[in-house]
Structure 1
Protein backbone atom coordinates (compact mmCIF):
# COMPACT_ATOMS: atom_id res chain seq x y z
CA UNK A 1 0.00 0.00 0.00
CA UNK A 2 1.27 3.47 -0.85
CA UNK A 3 2.61 5.39 2.13
CA UNK A 4 3.18 9.09 1.44
CA UNK A 5 5.92 10.65 3.53
CA UNK A 6 4.01 13.81 4.43
CA UNK A 7 1.24 12.23 6.57
CA UNK A 8 3.92 10.30 8.46
CA UNK A 9 5.86 13.51 9.08
CA UNK A 10 2.73 15.24 10.39
CA UNK A 11 2.13 12.41 12.84
CA UNK A 12 5.76 12.39 13.95
CA UNK A 13 5.71 16.13 14.49
CA UNK A 14 2.59 15.93 16.65
CA UNK A 15 3.82 12.96 18.70
CA UNK A 16 7.25 14.50 19.11
CA UNK A 17 5.72 17.69 20.48
CA UNK A 18 3.67 15.77 23.01
CA UNK A 19 6.60 13.64 24.10
CA UNK A 20 8.76 16.70 24.59
CA UNK A 21 6.36 18.01 27.21
CA UNK A 22 5.33 14.81 28.93
CA UNK A 23 4.60 15.22 32.62
CA UNK A 24 7.34 14.16 34.99
CA UNK A 25 6.86 11.03 37.03
CA UNK A 26 8.34 12.74 40.09
CA UNK A 27 5.96 12.81 43.05
CA UNK A 28 5.35 16.52 43.56
CA UNK A 29 2.22 18.17 44.92
CA UNK A 30 1.29 21.63 46.11
CA UNK A 31 0.34 20.12 49.45
CA UNK A 32 3.91 18.99 50.16
CA UNK A 33 5.73 21.74 48.27
CA UNK A 34 3.88 25.01 47.76
CA UNK A 35 6.92 26.53 46.06
CA UNK A 36 6.37 24.17 43.13
CA UNK A 37 3.89 26.71 41.78
CA UNK A 38 6.67 29.26 41.30
CA UNK A 39 7.45 29.75 37.62
CA UNK A 40 5.83 30.65 34.31
CA UNK A 41 2.69 28.73 33.35
CA UNK A 42 1.19 29.05 29.87
CA UNK A 43 -2.46 28.15 29.40
CA UNK A 44 -3.56 25.83 26.62
CA UNK A 45 -5.58 28.07 24.26
CA UNK A 46 -9.36 28.09 24.71
CA UNK A 47 -11.76 27.92 21.76
CA UNK A 48 -12.09 31.70 21.99
CA UNK A 49 -8.33 32.05 21.46
CA UNK A 50 -7.56 33.13 25.03
CA UNK A 51 -4.14 31.82 26.00
CA UNK A 52 -3.05 33.72 29.10
CA UNK A 53 0.28 33.18 30.82
CA UNK A 54 0.52 33.26 34.63
CA UNK A 55 3.86 34.10 36.21
CA UNK A 56 3.93 33.00 39.85
CA UNK A 57 6.65 34.71 41.88
CA UNK A 58 8.30 33.45 45.05
CA UNK A 59 7.24 36.64 46.88
CA UNK A 60 3.53 35.79 46.61
CA UNK A 61 2.81 37.90 43.55
CA UNK A 62 1.32 36.54 40.34
CA UNK A 63 1.56 38.39 37.03
CA UNK A 64 -1.18 37.58 34.54
CA UNK A 65 -0.08 38.24 30.95
CA UNK A 66 -3.24 38.37 28.77
CA UNK A 67 -2.97 36.83 25.28
CA UNK A 68 -5.51 35.93 22.63
CA UNK A 69 -4.38 33.84 19.66
CA UNK A 70 -7.49 34.77 17.65
CA UNK A 71 -7.16 38.50 18.25
CA UNK A 72 -3.50 39.37 18.91
CA UNK A 73 -3.10 42.71 20.66
CA UNK A 74 -1.09 44.20 23.50
CA UNK A 75 -2.85 44.14 26.87
CA UNK A 76 -1.77 45.35 30.29
CA UNK A 77 -0.27 42.87 32.75
CA UNK A 78 -2.43 42.24 35.82
CA UNK A 79 -0.59 41.97 39.15
CA UNK A 80 -2.23 40.17 42.08
CA UNK A 81 -1.37 38.43 45.32
CA UNK A 82 -1.75 34.67 45.53
CA UNK A 83 -1.70 32.05 48.27
CA UNK A 84 -1.75 28.28 47.97
CA UNK A 85 -4.12 26.57 50.41
CA UNK A 86 -2.54 24.51 53.18
CA UNK A 87 -3.75 21.27 51.63
CA UNK A 88 -2.74 22.41 48.13
CA UNK A 89 -6.28 22.03 46.82
CA UNK A 90 -6.75 25.63 45.70
CA UNK A 91 -5.02 28.91 44.92
CA UNK A 92 -6.51 32.17 46.21
CA UNK A 93 -5.86 35.17 43.96
CA UNK A 94 -6.62 38.72 45.09
CA UNK A 95 -6.08 42.22 43.74
CA UNK A 96 -7.66 45.61 44.34
CA UNK A 97 -10.15 44.88 41.56
CA UNK A 98 -11.21 41.31 42.34
CA UNK A 99 -10.65 38.13 44.30
CA UNK A 100 -11.28 34.51 43.31
CA UNK A 101 -10.20 30.95 44.01
CA UNK A 102 -8.74 28.47 41.54
CA UNK A 103 -9.38 24.82 42.33
CA UNK A 104 -6.38 22.55 41.69
CA UNK A 105 -7.68 19.52 39.78
CA UNK A 106 -4.25 18.12 39.05
CA UNK A 107 -0.62 19.09 39.49
CA UNK A 108 2.73 17.81 38.21
CA UNK A 109 6.11 19.53 37.83
CA UNK A 110 5.40 20.63 34.24
CA UNK A 111 1.60 20.61 33.90
CA UNK A 112 -1.37 21.56 36.05
CA UNK A 113 -5.13 21.71 35.68
CA UNK A 114 -7.17 24.41 37.40
CA UNK A 115 -10.85 25.29 37.45
CA UNK A 116 -13.05 28.14 38.60
CA UNK A 117 -16.80 28.85 38.59
CA UNK A 118 -18.02 31.47 36.13
CA UNK A 119 -21.75 32.25 36.29
CA UNK A 120 -23.44 28.83 36.20
CA UNK A 121 -20.52 27.08 34.53
CA UNK A 122 -17.28 25.53 35.75
CA UNK A 123 -14.33 26.48 33.54
CA UNK A 124 -11.28 24.24 33.36
CA UNK A 125 -7.80 25.41 32.37
CA UNK A 126 -4.78 23.31 31.47
CA UNK A 127 -1.36 24.88 32.00
CA UNK A 128 2.12 23.92 30.86
CA UNK A 129 5.25 25.16 32.64
CA UNK A 130 7.46 27.09 30.22
CA UNK A 131 10.73 29.01 30.21
CA UNK A 132 9.48 32.36 28.97
CA UNK A 133 6.35 34.47 28.80
CA UNK A 134 4.76 33.55 25.47
CA UNK A 135 1.34 32.13 24.51
CA UNK A 136 0.98 28.57 23.19
CA UNK A 137 -0.65 29.79 19.98
CA UNK A 138 0.94 26.97 17.98
CA UNK A 139 -1.56 24.72 19.78
CA UNK A 140 -4.55 26.91 19.00
CA UNK A 141 -7.12 25.43 16.63
CA UNK A 142 -9.40 27.95 14.95
CA UNK A 143 -12.78 26.25 15.39
CA UNK A 144 -14.33 27.89 12.33
CA UNK A 145 -11.29 27.25 10.16
CA UNK A 146 -11.07 23.63 11.29
CA UNK A 147 -14.75 23.07 10.59
CA UNK A 148 -14.26 24.46 7.08
CA UNK A 149 -11.28 22.17 6.51
CA UNK A 150 -13.27 19.07 7.39
CA UNK A 151 -15.38 19.37 4.25
CA UNK A 152 -15.22 17.93 0.71
CA UNK A 153 -12.69 19.49 -1.66
CA UNK A 154 -14.02 22.38 -3.74
CA UNK A 155 -12.43 23.82 -6.89
CA UNK A 156 -12.00 27.13 -5.06
CA UNK A 157 -9.79 25.47 -2.40
CA UNK A 158 -6.77 25.10 -4.70
CA UNK A 159 -6.13 26.06 -8.33
CA UNK A 160 -3.93 23.40 -9.99
CA UNK A 161 -1.14 24.63 -12.26
CA UNK A 162 1.41 21.78 -12.44
CA UNK A 163 3.34 22.90 -15.55
CA UNK A 164 7.11 23.12 -15.11
CA UNK A 165 8.56 26.35 -16.59
CA UNK A 166 10.71 25.74 -19.66
CA UNK A 167 14.24 26.94 -20.24
CA UNK A 168 16.09 25.26 -17.36
CA UNK A 169 19.35 23.54 -18.26
CA UNK A 170 19.64 19.83 -17.48
CA UNK A 171 15.92 19.18 -17.36
CA UNK A 172 16.58 15.48 -18.02
CA UNK A 173 17.81 15.12 -14.44
CA UNK A 174 14.31 15.88 -13.14
CA UNK A 175 12.21 13.74 -15.48
CA UNK A 176 10.82 10.49 -14.06
CA UNK A 177 9.14 8.90 -11.07
CA UNK A 178 10.85 9.61 -7.75
CA UNK A 179 10.40 7.07 -4.97
CA UNK A 180 11.35 6.71 -1.31
CA UNK A 181 13.75 4.06 -0.04
CA UNK A 182 10.75 1.80 0.56
CA UNK A 183 9.79 2.11 -3.10
CA UNK A 184 6.73 4.35 -2.71
CA UNK A 185 6.54 6.97 -5.47
CA UNK A 186 6.41 10.44 -3.93
CA UNK A 187 6.26 12.62 -7.05
CA UNK A 188 6.58 12.34 -10.81
CA UNK A 189 7.97 14.84 -13.30
CA UNK A 190 6.24 13.95 -16.56
CA UNK A 191 7.24 14.97 -20.08
CA UNK A 192 4.80 14.28 -22.90
CA UNK A 193 3.25 16.01 -25.90
CA UNK A 194 1.59 18.60 -23.66
CA UNK A 195 4.86 19.63 -22.00
CA UNK A 196 6.54 19.01 -18.64
CA UNK A 197 4.45 18.90 -15.48
CA UNK A 198 4.23 17.51 -11.93
CA UNK A 199 2.02 14.55 -11.22
CA UNK A 200 1.18 12.11 -8.46
CA UNK A 201 -1.04 9.13 -9.10
CA UNK A 202 -4.10 9.12 -6.79
CA UNK A 203 -4.24 6.27 -4.30
CA UNK A 204 -7.16 4.78 -2.39
CA UNK A 205 -7.20 7.64 0.12
CA UNK A 206 -5.55 10.74 -1.31
CA UNK A 207 -5.60 13.01 -4.37
CA UNK A 208 -2.75 15.38 -5.24
CA UNK A 209 -2.54 18.77 -6.97
CA UNK A 210 0.33 21.18 -7.66
CA UNK A 211 0.82 24.86 -8.41
CA UNK A 212 3.27 27.75 -7.93
CA UNK A 213 5.88 25.70 -9.85
CA UNK A 214 9.10 27.67 -10.35
CA UNK A 215 12.86 27.36 -10.50
CA UNK A 216 14.90 28.43 -7.47
CA UNK A 217 18.48 28.02 -8.58
CA UNK A 218 18.86 24.34 -9.44
CA UNK A 219 15.87 23.31 -7.33
CA UNK A 220 12.33 22.90 -8.61
CA UNK A 221 10.05 24.62 -6.09
CA UNK A 222 6.28 24.16 -5.90
CA UNK A 223 3.25 23.80 -3.64
CA UNK A 224 1.76 20.36 -3.09
CA UNK A 225 -1.91 20.04 -2.13
CA UNK A 226 -3.46 16.82 -0.84
CA UNK A 227 -7.07 15.98 -0.11
CA UNK A 228 -9.34 13.00 0.34
CA UNK A 229 -12.76 12.17 -1.07
CA UNK A 230 -13.58 9.91 1.88
CA UNK A 231 -15.72 11.63 4.58
CA UNK A 232 -14.18 9.35 7.21
CA UNK A 233 -10.79 11.01 6.55
CA UNK A 234 -11.92 14.65 6.50
CA UNK A 235 -10.63 15.02 10.09
CA UNK A 236 -7.19 13.66 9.16
CA UNK A 237 -4.49 16.38 9.40
CA UNK A 238 -3.31 15.55 5.86
CA UNK A 239 -6.66 16.53 4.32
CA UNK A 240 -6.48 19.89 2.52
CA UNK A 241 -2.81 20.46 3.28
CA UNK A 242 -0.91 22.97 1.16
CA UNK A 243 2.79 22.24 1.55
CA UNK A 244 5.80 24.14 0.13
CA UNK A 245 8.27 21.70 -1.46
CA UNK A 246 11.47 21.60 -3.51
CA UNK A 247 12.93 18.80 -5.63
CA UNK A 248 16.66 18.94 -6.29
CA UNK A 249 18.69 16.28 -8.18
CA UNK A 250 21.99 15.25 -6.60
CA UNK A 251 25.32 14.27 -8.14
CA UNK A 252 24.80 10.59 -7.21
CA UNK A 253 21.62 10.32 -9.28
CA UNK A 254 19.27 10.67 -6.32
CA UNK A 255 17.07 13.67 -5.59
CA UNK A 256 16.38 15.56 -2.39
CA UNK A 257 12.74 16.32 -1.61
CA UNK A 258 12.42 19.10 0.95
CA UNK A 259 9.15 20.21 2.53
CA UNK A 260 8.06 22.49 5.35
CA UNK A 261 5.48 21.67 8.03
CA UNK A 262 4.70 24.42 10.54
CA UNK A 263 8.03 26.03 9.71
CA UNK A 264 10.00 22.83 10.35
CA UNK A 265 12.11 21.46 7.50
CA UNK A 266 12.07 17.81 6.45
CA UNK A 267 14.40 16.24 3.87
CA UNK A 268 13.94 12.92 2.09
CA UNK A 269 16.28 11.22 -0.38
CA UNK A 270 14.49 9.79 -3.40
CA UNK A 271 15.61 7.57 -6.27
CA UNK A 272 14.30 7.34 -9.80
CA UNK A 273 12.14 4.28 -10.39
CA UNK A 274 10.32 2.71 -13.34
CA UNK A 275 7.40 1.47 -11.22
Structure 2
Protein backbone atom coordinates (compact mmCIF):
# COMPACT_ATOMS: atom_id res chain seq x y z
CA UNK A 1 0.00 0.00 0.00
CA UNK A 2 1.13 3.56 -0.55
CA UNK A 3 2.81 5.30 2.33
CA UNK A 4 0.12 7.95 2.48
CA UNK A 5 -2.43 5.46 3.81
CA UNK A 6 -2.33 5.58 7.59
CA UNK A 7 -2.36 1.84 8.26
CA UNK A 8 -1.34 0.83 11.75
CA UNK A 9 -2.36 -2.53 13.13
CA UNK A 10 -3.02 -3.26 16.90
CA UNK A 11 -3.84 -5.43 19.15
CA UNK A 12 -4.94 -6.06 20.84
CA UNK A 13 -3.50 -7.23 22.49
CA UNK A 14 -3.06 -4.84 21.69
CA UNK A 15 -2.66 -3.06 22.47
CA UNK A 16 0.50 -2.55 23.88
CA UNK A 17 1.47 1.01 24.49
CA UNK A 18 3.53 3.64 26.26
CA UNK A 19 2.36 6.04 28.92
CA UNK A 20 2.34 9.13 26.69
CA UNK A 21 -0.87 11.11 27.16
CA UNK A 22 -2.24 14.08 25.28
CA UNK A 23 -5.18 16.40 25.08
CA UNK A 24 -6.81 17.89 22.04
CA UNK A 25 -9.17 16.33 19.51
CA UNK A 26 -11.51 14.04 21.44
CA UNK A 27 -13.47 11.21 19.89
CA UNK A 28 -16.82 12.08 21.40
CA UNK A 29 -18.42 14.33 23.97
CA UNK A 30 -18.59 11.46 26.45
CA UNK A 31 -15.13 10.02 25.85
CA UNK A 32 -12.21 12.14 27.00
CA UNK A 33 -9.58 9.90 25.39
CA UNK A 34 -7.64 11.80 22.74
CA UNK A 35 -5.73 10.50 19.75
CA UNK A 36 -3.13 13.24 20.16
CA UNK A 37 0.27 11.61 20.37
CA UNK A 38 2.51 9.19 18.48
CA UNK A 39 1.19 5.83 17.24
CA UNK A 40 3.12 2.88 15.81
CA UNK A 41 1.85 0.14 13.54
CA UNK A 42 2.43 -3.54 14.07
CA UNK A 43 4.24 -4.63 10.89
CA UNK A 44 2.19 -5.92 8.00
CA UNK A 45 3.17 -8.99 5.99
CA UNK A 46 4.92 -6.77 3.43
CA UNK A 47 6.98 -5.16 6.19
CA UNK A 48 5.16 -1.82 6.36
CA UNK A 49 5.37 -0.44 9.90
CA UNK A 50 4.52 3.25 9.67
CA UNK A 51 4.43 5.63 12.61
CA UNK A 52 2.04 8.58 12.74
CA UNK A 53 1.81 11.63 14.98
CA UNK A 54 -1.47 13.43 15.66
CA UNK A 55 -1.20 16.96 17.06
CA UNK A 56 -3.76 18.93 19.05
CA UNK A 57 -3.79 21.44 16.18
CA UNK A 58 -5.46 18.92 13.86
CA UNK A 59 -2.27 17.99 11.99
CA UNK A 60 -0.88 14.52 11.32
CA UNK A 61 2.67 13.55 10.38
CA UNK A 62 3.22 10.16 8.78
CA UNK A 63 6.67 8.56 9.07
CA UNK A 64 6.92 5.73 6.54
CA UNK A 65 8.87 2.64 7.58
CA UNK A 66 9.27 -0.77 6.00
CA UNK A 67 10.96 -3.47 8.08
CA UNK A 68 11.75 -5.50 4.98
CA UNK A 69 13.36 -2.93 2.67
CA UNK A 70 13.85 0.16 4.84
CA UNK A 71 12.49 3.53 3.83
CA UNK A 72 13.85 6.84 2.58
CA UNK A 73 10.48 8.43 1.90
CA UNK A 74 9.94 11.87 3.44
CA UNK A 75 7.54 12.63 6.27
CA UNK A 76 4.06 13.37 4.97
CA UNK A 77 2.11 16.11 6.75
CA UNK A 78 -1.69 16.23 6.50
CA UNK A 79 -4.76 17.50 8.31
CA UNK A 80 -7.19 15.24 10.16
CA UNK A 81 -10.71 15.62 11.48
CA UNK A 82 -12.84 13.50 13.81
CA UNK A 83 -16.61 13.44 13.28
CA UNK A 84 -18.86 14.80 16.03
CA UNK A 85 -19.98 11.32 17.07
CA UNK A 86 -16.37 10.11 17.24
CA UNK A 87 -16.99 7.27 14.78
CA UNK A 88 -15.15 8.55 11.70
CA UNK A 89 -11.82 10.10 10.84
CA UNK A 90 -10.90 11.96 7.67
CA UNK A 91 -7.30 12.52 6.59
CA UNK A 92 -6.72 15.40 4.18
CA UNK A 93 -3.38 14.43 2.65
CA UNK A 94 -1.58 15.74 -0.46
CA UNK A 95 -2.77 12.59 -2.25
CA UNK A 96 -6.44 13.24 -1.43
CA UNK A 97 -9.01 12.55 1.27
CA UNK A 98 -8.94 9.20 3.11
CA UNK A 99 -11.81 7.99 5.28
CA UNK A 100 -11.51 5.70 8.30
CA UNK A 101 -14.02 4.19 10.71
CA UNK A 102 -12.95 4.67 14.33
CA UNK A 103 -13.66 1.21 15.77
CA UNK A 104 -12.19 1.73 19.23
CA UNK A 105 -9.87 4.06 21.11
CA UNK A 106 -8.33 3.60 24.54
CA UNK A 107 -5.59 5.52 26.35
CA UNK A 108 -2.91 3.55 24.57
CA UNK A 109 -4.53 1.71 21.69
CA UNK A 110 -6.66 2.54 18.68
CA UNK A 111 -8.34 0.42 16.03
CA UNK A 112 -9.46 1.82 12.68
CA UNK A 113 -11.40 0.37 9.77
CA UNK A 114 -11.12 1.23 6.09
CA UNK A 115 -12.99 0.21 2.96
CA UNK A 116 -10.93 -0.43 -0.17
CA UNK A 117 -13.16 -1.54 -3.00
CA UNK A 118 -15.11 -4.57 -1.82
CA UNK A 119 -12.71 -5.25 1.06
CA UNK A 120 -13.21 -4.15 4.66
CA UNK A 121 -9.86 -3.77 6.40
CA UNK A 122 -9.21 -3.39 10.11
CA UNK A 123 -6.06 -1.80 11.49
CA UNK A 124 -4.85 -1.10 15.00
CA UNK A 125 -2.37 1.32 16.53
CA UNK A 126 -0.42 1.42 19.76
CA UNK A 127 0.64 4.65 21.43
CA UNK A 128 4.42 4.99 21.75
CA UNK A 129 6.71 7.65 23.17
CA UNK A 130 8.99 8.10 20.17
CA UNK A 131 8.98 7.79 16.39
CA UNK A 132 10.29 4.25 16.02
CA UNK A 133 8.82 1.29 14.09
CA UNK A 134 7.99 -1.99 15.81
CA UNK A 135 10.24 -3.99 13.51
CA UNK A 136 11.30 -6.34 16.30
CA UNK A 137 7.88 -7.96 15.92
CA UNK A 138 8.36 -8.38 12.18
CA UNK A 139 11.90 -9.71 12.57
CA UNK A 140 10.74 -12.14 15.25
CA UNK A 141 8.09 -13.55 12.92
CA UNK A 142 10.49 -13.80 9.96
CA UNK A 143 13.25 -15.42 12.01
CA UNK A 144 10.98 -18.18 13.25
CA UNK A 145 9.43 -19.65 10.12
CA UNK A 146 7.74 -22.33 12.21
CA UNK A 147 5.42 -19.63 13.50
CA UNK A 148 3.70 -19.46 10.10
CA UNK A 149 2.07 -22.85 10.52
CA UNK A 150 -0.71 -24.55 12.43
CA UNK A 151 -0.29 -24.93 16.18
CA UNK A 152 1.25 -28.16 17.45
CA UNK A 153 1.35 -29.34 21.06
CA UNK A 154 5.13 -29.05 21.17
CA UNK A 155 4.91 -25.32 20.33
CA UNK A 156 3.81 -24.48 23.86
CA UNK A 157 3.22 -26.65 26.91
CA UNK A 158 -0.05 -25.57 28.49
CA UNK A 159 0.30 -25.46 32.30
CA UNK A 160 -2.00 -22.71 33.60
CA UNK A 161 -2.16 -23.74 37.26
CA UNK A 162 -1.52 -21.13 39.95
CA UNK A 163 0.79 -22.22 42.80
CA UNK A 164 -0.74 -22.18 46.27
CA UNK A 165 -0.88 -18.80 47.95
CA UNK A 166 -3.02 -17.68 50.93
CA UNK A 167 -3.97 -14.48 49.07
CA UNK A 168 -4.98 -16.06 45.76
CA UNK A 169 -8.66 -15.10 46.17
CA UNK A 170 -7.67 -11.46 45.69
CA UNK A 171 -6.73 -12.31 42.10
CA UNK A 172 -9.77 -14.43 41.24
CA UNK A 173 -12.17 -12.91 38.73
CA UNK A 174 -12.93 -12.07 35.14
CA UNK A 175 -10.84 -8.97 34.59
CA UNK A 176 -12.11 -6.62 31.87
CA UNK A 177 -11.02 -3.32 30.37
CA UNK A 178 -13.07 -0.15 30.24
CA UNK A 179 -14.86 -1.42 27.12
CA UNK A 180 -16.11 -4.45 29.03
CA UNK A 181 -13.83 -6.92 27.22
CA UNK A 182 -12.30 -9.63 29.38
CA UNK A 183 -8.49 -9.61 29.11
CA UNK A 184 -7.64 -12.40 31.54
CA UNK A 185 -9.30 -14.58 34.17
CA UNK A 186 -8.20 -16.35 37.31
CA UNK A 187 -10.69 -19.15 37.91
CA UNK A 188 -11.16 -22.05 40.31
CA UNK A 189 -11.84 -25.51 38.91
CA UNK A 190 -13.83 -28.36 40.46
CA UNK A 191 -10.77 -29.69 42.29
CA UNK A 192 -10.23 -26.40 44.16
CA UNK A 193 -7.25 -25.50 41.99
CA UNK A 194 -6.79 -22.07 40.44
CA UNK A 195 -5.67 -21.35 36.91
CA UNK A 196 -5.07 -18.52 34.41
CA UNK A 197 -7.66 -18.61 31.65
CA UNK A 198 -9.11 -16.70 28.73
CA UNK A 199 -11.91 -17.94 26.51
CA UNK A 200 -11.03 -18.46 22.84
CA UNK A 201 -12.39 -15.92 20.38
CA UNK A 202 -13.31 -16.35 16.73
CA UNK A 203 -9.67 -15.79 15.75
CA UNK A 204 -7.45 -16.47 18.75
CA UNK A 205 -6.78 -19.18 21.31
CA UNK A 206 -4.90 -18.60 24.56
CA UNK A 207 -2.54 -20.85 26.52
CA UNK A 208 -0.53 -20.24 29.69
CA UNK A 209 2.43 -21.62 31.58
CA UNK A 210 5.29 -20.61 33.92
CA UNK A 211 2.69 -19.31 36.40
CA UNK A 212 4.49 -18.13 39.53
CA UNK A 213 4.46 -15.64 42.38
CA UNK A 214 6.95 -12.79 42.61
CA UNK A 215 6.05 -10.89 45.75
CA UNK A 216 2.58 -9.46 45.12
CA UNK A 217 2.78 -10.11 41.38
CA UNK A 218 1.18 -13.18 39.83
CA UNK A 219 3.37 -13.75 36.79
CA UNK A 220 2.74 -16.01 33.82
CA UNK A 221 3.62 -16.63 30.20
CA UNK A 222 0.81 -16.02 27.71
CA UNK A 223 0.80 -17.78 24.33
CA UNK A 224 -1.66 -16.87 21.55
CA UNK A 225 -2.34 -18.71 18.31
CA UNK A 226 -4.97 -18.95 15.59
CA UNK A 227 -6.61 -21.90 13.87
CA UNK A 228 -7.17 -19.79 10.77
CA UNK A 229 -4.55 -20.24 8.08
CA UNK A 230 -4.96 -16.65 6.90
CA UNK A 231 -3.68 -15.49 10.30
CA UNK A 232 -0.60 -17.73 10.43
CA UNK A 233 1.58 -14.83 9.25
CA UNK A 234 0.11 -12.43 11.78
CA UNK A 235 2.71 -11.10 14.23
CA UNK A 236 0.82 -12.53 17.21
CA UNK A 237 0.25 -16.03 15.88
CA UNK A 238 2.34 -18.30 18.12
CA UNK A 239 3.51 -15.30 20.14
CA UNK A 240 4.57 -15.63 23.76
CA UNK A 241 4.53 -12.71 26.22
CA UNK A 242 5.38 -12.32 29.89
CA UNK A 243 2.42 -10.85 31.80
CA UNK A 244 1.47 -10.24 35.40
CA UNK A 245 -1.38 -9.27 37.72
CA UNK A 246 -0.73 -6.92 40.65
CA UNK A 247 -3.31 -5.87 43.27
CA UNK A 248 -4.25 -2.22 43.80
CA UNK A 249 -6.11 -0.52 46.65
CA UNK A 250 -9.54 -1.08 45.09
CA UNK A 251 -10.47 -4.76 45.57
CA UNK A 252 -12.57 -4.67 42.39
CA UNK A 253 -9.64 -3.56 40.24
CA UNK A 254 -6.26 -5.05 39.38
CA UNK A 255 -3.20 -3.90 37.45
CA UNK A 256 -2.55 -6.02 34.37
CA UNK A 257 0.90 -5.67 32.83
CA UNK A 258 2.65 -7.31 29.91
CA UNK A 259 5.78 -6.96 27.82
CA UNK A 260 6.10 -6.49 24.07
CA UNK A 261 9.80 -6.80 23.34
CA UNK A 262 11.51 -4.89 26.15
CA UNK A 263 8.61 -2.47 26.67
CA UNK A 264 6.24 -2.91 29.61
CA UNK A 265 2.62 -1.78 29.41
CA UNK A 266 0.22 -1.37 32.33
CA UNK A 267 -3.59 -1.28 32.46
CA UNK A 268 -6.11 -1.14 35.28
CA UNK A 269 -8.80 -3.80 34.81
CA UNK A 270 -12.16 -4.12 36.52
CA UNK A 271 -13.53 -7.27 38.12
CA UNK A 272 -16.67 -8.41 36.28
TM-score, length basis structure 2: 0.54
Q: Does 1:199 align with 2:197?
A: yes
Match of 1:72 in 2: none
Query: Match of 1:264?
Result: 263
Structure 1 segments unaligned to the other structure (5+ residues): 25-42, 52-104, 111-135
Aligned to 1:19: 52
The aligned counterpart of 2:227 is: 229
Task: Report how many residues are paired.
Answer: 170
Distance 2:216 2:223 in 1: 22
Computing the radius of gyration from Cα coordinates, the structure with the larger value is: 1
Query: Using the alignment, how far apart are the partners of 1:204 and 1:248 within structure 2?
Result: 29
CA gap 1:172/1:145 in 2 versus in 1, 3 angstroms: same
Deviation at 1:149, TM superposition (A): 1.2
Match of 1:247 in 2: 245
Cα shift at 1:44: 7.6
1:248: Cα distance to partner?
1.1
Pick closer, same or farther for the CA change 1:206–1:149 going to 2, 3 Å.
Answer: same
1:193 Cα deviation from its structure 2 partner: 2.5
- CA distance in structure 2 between the partners assigned to 1:250 and 1:225 by the alignment: 25
Instruction: Summarize the Cα distance change of 1:139–1:187 in structure 2 as closer, same or farther, 3 Å threshold.
Output: closer
Q: Pairwise mapping of residues 24-43 of structure 1 onto structure 2 (< 5 A)?
A: none
- Displacement after TM superposition at 1:163 (Å): 0.4
- The residue correspondences of 1:131-150 to structure 2 (distance < 5 A) are 138=136, 141=139, 145-150=143-148
1:158 alignment counterpart: 156
* Residue 184 (structure 1) aligned with residue 191 (structure 2): no
CA distance 1:13–1:158, shift in 2 (3 Å): farther
Q: Conserved in 2, the CA contact under 8 Å of 1:175 and 1:190?
A: yes
TM-superposed CA distance for 1:199, in Å, is 0.9
Q: CA 1:107/1:171 → structure 2, altered by over 3 Å: closer, same or farther?
A: closer
Preserved contact between residue 4 and residue 186 of structure 1 (Cα < 8 Å): no
CA contact (8 A) 2:62 2:75 kept: no
In structure 2, C-alpha distance between the alignment counterparts of 1:137 and 1:191, rounded to whole Å: 39
> How many angstroms apart in 1 are the aligned matches of 2:256 and 2:72?
44
Q: 8 Å contact 1:257–1:270 — kept in the other structure?
A: yes
Distance 2:246 2:185 in 1: 13
Question: What displacement does 1:137 show?
Answer: 7.8
1:150-197 deviation per Cα after TM superposition (whole angstroms, max 9, x unaligned): 11111111001100000x232211111111111111111111223111
Partner of 1:172: 169
Alpha-carbon displacement from aligned partner over 1:130-152 (angstroms, at most 9, x marks no partner): xxxxxx98487268634321111
Cα contact 2:258–2:264 (8 A) shared by 1? yes
Rounded to whole Å, the distance in 1 between the matches of 2:212 and 2:258 is 15
The answer for unaligned runs of 5 or more in structure 2 is 1-9, 18-38, 43-48, 54-60, 77-133
**d(CA) in 2 for partners of 1:238 and 1:174?**
26
